[in-house]
């Protein structure tokens, strides 16, 4: 009979409330980060998930400050990196665009996993947002990905 590892395994999830919910339902302890813990709607959403009261630990972290991820990753055996930047202001950032910011945040997460010496596996999926077409004015992504979108614009992933 296989041992149930969920009772003592910690998993860190960036983005991905559905993954967080599934892990909580299976009995895992989940570490999750939010850009701002004062964002009541986001915190309340995560706190409302099943088993969140005993198995969810929230941390504040911003990809523009790499050291903020380390406490959330510390002690975790698995990491699901699902988040991707939604909007980017190149004038107030060290990154020139969302692609560069997404790549940098993935490096930050990866480096933190290595430094932790506890992470056994990093599962990187990003998000459909990372390949979603830009708005006409290139200020962000289209609100939904469906057949009505103008796909003549390049996907964000391929922009330089």
Reported as a single tens digit per residue, the pLDDT across 81-91 is 988 776 656 56
Give the residue-averaged pLDDT of 141-160.
Answer: 51
Q: In terms of DSSP bridges, do strands 29-34 and 78-81 run parallel, antiparallel, or are they unpaired?
A: unpaired
The CATH number of the structural domain formed by 6-126 is: 3.40.50.720
What are the residue ranges spanned by the domains of the chain? 6-126
The tens digit of pLDDT for each residue in 11-39 reads 999 988 899 999 999 999 999 999 899 99
- Percentage of the chain beyond pLDDT 70 is 68
Return the structure tokens found at 81. 């990196």
- The tens digit of pLDDT for each residue in 116-129 reads 999 999 999 865 55
How do residues 53-77 score in pLDDT, each as one tens digit? 999 999 999 877 778 999 999 999 9
């Amino acid at each position: 009979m296989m041992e149930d590892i969920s009772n003592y395994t910690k998993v860190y999830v960036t983005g991905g409330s559905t993954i967080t919910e599934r892990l909580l339902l299976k009995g895992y302890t989940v570490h999750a980060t939010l850009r701002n813990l004062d964002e009541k709607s986001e915190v309340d959403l995560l706190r409302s998930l099943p088993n969140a009261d005993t198995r969810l630990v929230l941390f504040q972290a911003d990809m523009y400050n790499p050291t903020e991820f380390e406490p959330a990753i510390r002690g975790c055996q698995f990491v699901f990196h699902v988040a991707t930047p939604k909007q980017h202001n190149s004038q107030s950032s060290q990154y020139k665009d969302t692609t560069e910011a997404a790549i940098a945040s993935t490096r930050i997460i990866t480096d933190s996993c290595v430094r932790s010496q506890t992470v056994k596996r990093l599962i990187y999926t990003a998000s459909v947002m990372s390949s979603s077409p830009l708005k006409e004015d290139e200020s962000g992504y289209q609100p939904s990905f469906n057949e009505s979108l103008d796909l003549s614009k390049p996907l964000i992933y391929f922009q330089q």
